[in-house]
Each structure stands twice: as structure tokens, then as C-alpha cells.
Amino acid sequence: MTARNGSFAPLDPGRRILMGPGPSDMHPRVYQAMGAPLTGHLDPYFIGVMDDTKVLLRYVFQTENDLTIPISATGSAGMETCICNLVEPGDEVLVCVGGVFGDRMAQMVERHGGRLIRLEGASGRPFTPDQVREALAGCRPKLVGLVHAETSTGVLQPLEEIIRIVHEHEALVLVDTVASLGGTPVKVDEWGIDVCYAGSQKCLSAPPGLAPVTLNERACTAISGRKTPVDSWYLDLSLINAYWDGDRVYHHTAPVSLIYALREALVLIHEEGLATGHARHALNYEAFKAGIDAMGLGFFVDAPHRAPTINPVLSPDGVDEASVRRRLLEDYGIELGGGLGALKGKAWRVGLMGQSSQKDHVMLCLGALEETLRAEGHEVAESGVAAASAVYADSP
């Protein structure tokens, strides 16, 4: 890797099978799109690419929202964009914290001057409508933040009823869909999500570096009614949207190649069909679950609350969690995530996101895990591969 005799080794990471919490695998067409000739960021051809990207993002977000664009930075910047545009100093904001990403949202609210009300969740369980109703009885927030798929725990948060409750209290709803968009339904308009952000590198299977956001009319009205300027120049949505819409005013140089790649990744989702893609994610999760159950391993989250896209699997007693991950990477090129936050050192986080949600990935991962656990001296109950195979055989 390092320079020898004044020259550097050619860049060659080797083959990787990305089954961690993101990035996920990219389709060959997305790699190809990244290599297309650069244009200027105001080139008429590129403006067409931007317009396609907006149309395709509305498709995956299932929304008609005008303001639907990718922010030029990672998912965390999508989070920060939504917060810094909506929160003014002194505004009350309720954040439901069920893991690392809810906590990140809470930190951002405080940094942007919001008066934070933290609702702590039980580890590994979603928030109930009653918990949110109770919290709202004691405050009058402008905004309520939730994480749809909390990547640190693998919990999928049901949203519809909670959104109704939040709207009864006349607050806006902000939802983190970084680890769910493209992998499981996110119905922005039907559910009434006011503000929402995602990340390019998870279930959308584009390279990291872009954060799609979508805001409805209510959210845009809240922004235009601000008394103070947004406290970030780079993430100020009115400035950014003047480039993405209408006058095409220069704001920052768009990351042209990343936007090519995102457009192609979204075209692939559109070609497959959103519902078909969601069904594929659900099936591969079911097969993976059958395999993990058969092997006698445990999930962190109870079955009804699991996200199909990201699942912490508990590392059995006596097994070195990090050593298994190292072997999987060295022997198979498989990347799994380690435990994050409360699960550090205790679990593998297995992502079945976007292009990584495939039968061949599930079978290889289960087989490799089985072999590696035996090599580490842990007896596996039954074959995970056989159990997963039975699920695929039963599926239409």
C-alpha cells in the first residue's frame, strides 16, 4: 500500500462482498456511469441528468414533493440539512432516540440551537404510539424526529400512527430513512412524512457521498417563515434549490460523477420496480433469518420489529466477534459490520441492502459464517445454507 522506491502500488482493493451497514454492492452499470465523461455542472446535458434524478428520487420516496434533491455529502449531511433548515434557536424539538442515529439527530438539534427533548427508547424495540403521545402531552415541539431503520440496533420503526399523533399536535415529522429507502416501503406522501432524508450508499446501492432529501409544502413554509438565516451556508436549502430548480444559480460545484452514479442506481430500481425490489429484500431477509435460526444463533431484535435491510446477529459466548469478521474478510472478501454503540464487540451487523440483497450473497454469507464459526471452535447446530435454501425453494 505504501510507496516503495518512490512509486505506489496500483489501486486494487480486490473483490468485496459488502454485507455490512453500508456501503452496499454496486451494480456494474453504476461503476460504468461513474466513468462517463465529466461535463460542467451547468452543462445542458448535466441539467437533464439532474432533472431525471429528481424524478427518480420522487419515485423511490413515493412523493410528489417539488423539493426532492440529493445533498452533496453523506447521509449525516442529509440529517443536518433537514435540522439546520427547520430548527431556529429556541425551537423545541422532540427526538426519539433508540440508538446511535437517533442520538446523532439529538446532538445536531442541540448544536443548531434547538431546545432538545429526548425520548429514550427501550433498546431493541420500536417506539409505541403511546410513548410518543405521552411525551407530546408535556411539550409543544415544532419538529419530531424519528429513525425508520435504526442501523445500530436493526429495529424498524412503524411510522403511520405516530405521524398522525404528531400532526394532531401540529408539529412536523422528520424521518431518517438512510437504511430503509429502496429496501422497504417509505411512503412519504401517504404516511404524511413532512421531511425525510436518505443516503446514496445503503439500499440505493450508489457510492457514498450523496444524501437525497424531500420536503413537503408544510416544511417549505416553515423554512420560508424563518426569522433568522439558516446557520449553515453550504446546507441552506433555498440556496441549493436555486441551483437544482429554476434559475440554476451556481452554489457549489455539483459532484457530477456521483450524480451520474445515483441516477443509474435509481434507474435500476425503477427498472426492477419498487414493489418487486421490496419483495426481494423481504425474501432474502426471510432466507437469512431461517439460516441464522437453524445455526442456533440469535438476533438482537425480536422478529416482528426487525428491519429487512440490517440485522445485528449476536456473537455466541466464547466466540471472538472481531476475529470472525476478520476471517470473513480475508477468506471470502465478505464485509460484515461490527456492533455499534451498546452492541460493540457483541454482534455482527449484517446488511442486506440494495444490490447486496441477493440469494448468492445470503447463501455465501451463511456458508462462510458456518465454516468460520467451526474454525473458531464453535459448534453450529444445523446447516444455515440448507434452511435458507428451503425458503428459496418455497418462494414463487
Establish if 101 lies at the interface with ligand PLP (CB under 6 A): yes
Nearer to ligand PLP, 105 or 368 (CB): 105
Nearer to ligand PLP, 183 or 277 (CB): 183
Q: Minimum distance from CB of 311 to ligand PLP (Å)? A: 13
Nearer to ligand PLP, 208 or 316 (CB): 208
Nearer to ligand PLP, 76 or 123 (CB): 76
Among 20, 22, 145, 337, binds ligand PLP (CB under 6 A): 22
Binding to ligand PLP by CB under 6 A, coded x per residue (else -) over 191-220, reads --------x--------x------------
Among 46, 62, 66, 74, binds ligand PLP (CB under 6 A): 74
Establish if 324 lies at the interface with ligand PLP (CB under 6 A): no
- Cα 268–269–273 angle (5° rounding)? 120
Among 34, 52, 62, 76, binds ligand PLP (CB under 6 A): 76
Among 83, 87, 178, 240, binds ligand PLP (CB under 6 A): 178
Q: Minimum distance from CB of 351 to ligand PLP (Å)? A: 9
Footprint of ligand PLP on 119-148 (CB under 6 A): 147
Residue type, 136: L
Nearer to ligand PLP, 111 or 133 (CB): 111
- For residue 177 the three cell numbers come to 430513512
Q: Are 236 and 230 in contact (CB under 8 A)?
A: yes
Q: Minimum distance from CB of 56 to ligand PLP (Å)? A: 19
Bridge partners for 311 per DSSP: 350
Nearer to ligand PLP, 199 or 384 (CB): 199
Establish if 107 lies at the interface with ligand PLP (CB under 6 A): no
Q: Cite the DSSP H helix spans in the chain.
A: 28-34, 44-61, 75-86, 100-111, 129-137, 160-168, 188-191, 217-224, 237-244, 256-272, 274-294, 321-332, 359-375, 384-394
Establish if 235 lies at the interface with ligand PLP (CB under 6 A): no
Q: Are 197 and 176 in contact (CB under 8 A)?
A: yes
Among 80, 91, 103, 176, binds ligand PLP (CB under 6 A): 176
d(CA 180, CA 274): 12
Cα–Cα nearest to 144, from 127, 122, 124: 127
- What is the side-by-side order of every strand in the sheet holding 211-215? 67-71, 211-215, 195-197, 172-176, 143-147, 92-97, 115-120
Q: Minimum distance from CB of 148 to ligand PLP (Å)? A: 7
State the burial class of residue 374 (Cβ atoms within 10 Å of its Cβ: 0-12, 13-18, 19+): exposed
CB atoms within 10 A of CB 221: 11
User: In the 8-state DSSP scheme, what is residue 333?
Assistant: -
Nearer to ligand PLP, 352 or 391 (CB): 352
Q: Are 206 and 30 in contact (CB under 8 A)?
A: yes
Q: Minimum distance from CB of 183 to ligand PLP (Å)? A: 11
Task: Tell me which residue has cell 400512527.
Answer: 161
Nearer to ligand PLP, 199 or 338 (CB): 199
Query: Which residue is at the shortest CB distance from ligand PLP?
Result: 75
Nearer to ligand PLP, 203 or 364 (CB): 203
- Cα 96–100–106 angle (5° rounding)? 45
CA distances (Å), origin 36, targets 31, 32, 68, 261: 9, 7, 24, 9
Establish if 179 lies at the interface with ligand PLP (CB under 6 A): yes
Residues within the interface to ligand PLP (CB under 6 A) = 21-22, 74-76, 101, 147, 149, 151, 176, 178-179, 199, 208
